[in-house]
Structure 1
Amino acid sequence: MPRNASAPSAPARTAKDEPTRRQQLAAKTRERIFRIAIKEFADKGFSGARVEGIASRSKVNIRMIYHYFGGKEMLYVEVLEHVLAKLREAELAVELDEKTVDPATGILQLYDFTEGHFSAHPELLCLLSWENLNRARYLKRSKVIPAMSSPVLDKLRTLIERGEAAGELREGIDPLHMYVTLVSLAYFHKSNAYTLSRMFDTEMLAPAWQAAHKAQAHELVRAFLTGARVPELAAHF
């Protein structure tokens, strides 16, 4: 190629490459409906939420909800997929198997993340509570949610195996049992805080109480990970 020849330039963008104003408005409308739906389903559950209410708060015609989502049930399933995908996406960003972090600390980092995510996303707590009351009736209709969990367990399993091999963790820790334990410790005192606060006349959502409970959870998890196995429990695993 001659020295003064210029390199081929990238093809210029045309009007066809740009989203049309109608497409932009449609995307914004769909996003607005979706955000309102998350709050409605979190506040009222599937049975209590009404398509009419979602449409009214979104300032759209009811037909638009069916146009964009196919109906109430499909919208609800998409909401569940969205909030759980956000949780899984953020979980996978936690460097559980980072070589510079000891295994127990890495597992506690996963607990800290989960606890913080629940604090920042109370709608997730509500949606999970409603769906448990429904016995996962609508969660079962999602094909993508089960696949979201495997990578998290794989990372936790890697960390546990590394800790066991180095003698830093006790043997026989099951990744799924460990994950459920972490979520339980991060979930219950938040999802049931209103009732527990009234029962024990203690404001359990107060930052100081939440911080103290988090510190206790750290002690419990670290003691479990590094302590000796209880013979009576070993037979169950």
Structure 2
Amino acid sequence: MPKTEKPAANTKAVAKKADKPAARVRRDPAKTRASILRAAIAEFAAKGFSGARTDTIARRAKTNIRMLYHYFGGKDALYVCVLEEVLAQLRHEELQLDFDDVDPLDGILSMFDFIDNHFLKHPELQQLLAFENLNRAQHLKRSTRIPQMASPVLELLRKLLKRGEANKTFRRGIDPLHLYVTMVSVVDYGKSHGFTLSHIFREDLFTSSWQADHREQMHQILISFLMPPATPAKRVKRVKRKA
């Protein structure tokens, strides 16, 4: 039987289809970089620098490892950016506090409350700082931005302390850095050790009522520390230990 010929293909339609360029996916560099940074914060906070993996970060950011290296240069540089980001968030929010027309004591108590709330809402900050302390600030030392962030905060505290001295609300000679470290230390310890302390003492330290009571106690401690003494403080003699 004679073979039947197939109808000729519409060559014009095929050619037209072939000539049409494939739709390009528009890239958003800022969005991609932000996604990588968010994923990196979560990964480094959970596993530290040594335990974190760049391929996991890229996967969580829904991108590829090439993009991670393109935007950040590598694992070490990305980790420094993570530290800068979490500390920049804290510093930025601290500097939004307006104490110009606030009573100095209210200002310092408000700053303490802010630090307390920030650490509660951002456990990744505590975790990252804990890992970095274990490594003796190895990566943090590579950042030039982080030390610069601290100066405005200390200046803010210094102004509050000077105003408090001037109106005799505060005693003289309080160092702003010592005060800031004290406030952060109290906040950090209670939260970073909250799980173990809750188990040891059989009480949940993360309940809102316990946190509120603890904050009120810290207010009283800060007030007692800041206020001028009613009578001259007596110097306590140190007891020498036996050799």
TM-score range with shorter-chain normalisation? 0.7 to 0.9
Deviations 1:181-227 (A, max 9, x none): 11112221011111111121111111111111111011100111014
* 1:152-167 superposed matches below 5 A: 152-167=153-168
- Pick from 86, 89, 94 the counterpart of residue 89 of structure 2: 86
- Tell me: CA distance 1:27–1:197, structure 2 relative to 1, closer, same or farther (3 Å): same
Alignment partner of 1:117 is 2:118: yes
- Counterpart of 1:143? 144
* 1:5-84 superposed matches below 5 A: 22-24=26-28, 26-84=29-87
Query: Cα offset for 1:28?
Result: 2.0
Whole-Å separation in 2 of the counterparts to 1:75 and 1:231: 52
Whole-Å separation in 2 of the counterparts to 1:156 and 1:41: 31
Contact 2:168 2:228 in 1 (8 A): no
Deviations 1:19-38 (A, max 9, x none): x97342x3222221111111
Deviations 1:81-124 (A, max 9, x none): 0110110011011123x23x221111101001111111111111
Residue aligned with 1:135, SS: coil
Contact 2:169 2:228 in 1 (8 A): no
- Tell me: CA distance 1:231–1:41, structure 2 relative to 1, closer, same or farther (3 Å): farther
The structure with the largest alpha-carbon Rg is 2
Whole-Å separation in 1 of the counterparts to 2:30 and 2:67: 12
- Counterpart of 2:241? none
Give the fraction of aligned pairs with identical amino acids, expressed as a percent. Answer: 54
Contact 2:104 2:160 in 1 (8 A): yes
RMSD of aligned C-alpha atoms?
Answer: 1.7
Whole-Å separation in 2 of the counterparts to 1:112 and 1:220: 13
- Counterpart of 1:201? 202
Query: Cα offset for 1:173?
Result: 0.6
- Counterpart of 1:13? none
Query: Cα offset for 1:175?
Result: 0.6
- Counterpart of 2:129? 128
For structure 2, the residue ranges without an aligned partner over 5 or more in a row are 1-23, 237-243
Whole-Å separation in 2 of the counterparts to 1:232 and 1:82: 44
- Counterpart of 1:216? 217
Residue aligned with 2:205, SS: coil
Which residue type is aligned with residue 37 of structure 1?
A
Q: Normalized against structure 1, the TM-score is what?
A: 0.84
Query: Cα offset for 1:231?
Result: 4.4
Q: How many correspondences in the alignment? A: 211
Residue aligned with 1:172, SS: coil
Deviations 1:34-91 (A, max 9, x none): 1111100111111110112112222322122111110011001001001101100110
Whole-Å separation in 2 of the counterparts to 1:230 and 1:36: 52
Residue aligned with 1:74, SS: helix
Whole-Å separation in 2 of the counterparts to 1:124 and 1:114: 12
- Tell me: CA distance 1:121–1:227, structure 2 relative to 1, closer, same or farther (3 Å): same
Which ranges of 4 or more aligned residues in structure 1 deviate by more than 6 Å?
A: none
